[in-house]
Amino acid sequence: MSEELQPVFQIQRVYLKEASLEQPNSPAILLVQEQPTVDIQLAVAAEPAADGVYEVSVSATVQTKIGDKTVFLVECKQAGIFEIRNLPPEQMGPVMGIACPQIVYPYLRANVADVINRAGFPPVHLSEINFQAMYEQQQADQAEAAGSLPQ
């Protein structure tokens, strides 16, 4: 009789993988007394790093503009290394698409706000994200795209 293997989920490390800041129109744009527009884009990615070990990252791009001129552009990628073993295949997607990003995202939020603040601007606070809803929407979009393929 074989023993059933216990599921393993451990955080190995959470780290800032990338951070960049651009102020291409400084100092002139800093003298403009107009409220900038803010555009925020988020992305989640997961890749195997070793056997049973995965890197999950959440990226944010924050761009502010006045008219068509960029005030600042911040790109940050926060990542985590997770040991995930003995999970049924149908649980791997939700763990890497929901649970891992929920762990990594608060660090990303803090780093984005810090980079922007250190650049001399009021911090931009990324809002809370419902990663479960985001994951379910991605799954629905993929299923719809697969269903619309010609047979």
By the 8 A CB rule, do 62 and 117 touch? no
Domain ranges for the chain, please list them.
8-125
Tens of pLDDT, residue by residue over 27-44, are 999 899 999 999 999 999
N- to C-terminal Cα distance for the chain? 45
Per-residue confidence (pLDDT) for residue 10, from 0 to 100: 97
Does domain 8-125 match CATH 3.10.420.10?
yes
Count of beta carbons in the 10 Å neighbourhood of residue 57: 20
Task: Report the pLDDT averaged over residues 63-69.
Answer: 95
Task: Report the pLDDT averaged over residues 115-135.
Answer: 93
Taking the whole predicted model, whether its pTM rises above 0.85 is answered as yes
Per-residue confidence (pLDDT) for residue 143, from 0 to 100: 86
Query: In the predicted model, is pLDDT for residue 3 greater than 90?
Result: no
Count of beta carbons in the 10 Å neighbourhood of residue 69: 13
Tens of pLDDT, residue by residue over 86-100, are 999 999 999 999 999
Per-residue confidence (pLDDT) for residue 4, from 0 to 100: 73
By the 8 A CB rule, do 98 and 132 touch? yes
Per-residue confidence (pLDDT) for residue 1, from 0 to 100: 44
Nearest 10 degrees: Cα torsion 61, 67, 69, 73: -20
By the 8 A CB rule, do 60 and 126 touch? yes
CB neighbour list of residue 94: distance below 8 Å, 6 or more residues apart: 132, 135
Query: In the predicted model, is pLDDT for residue 149 greater than 60?
Result: no
What are 4's two structure tokens? 């059933």
What distance lies between CA 15 and its chain's CA centroid? 12
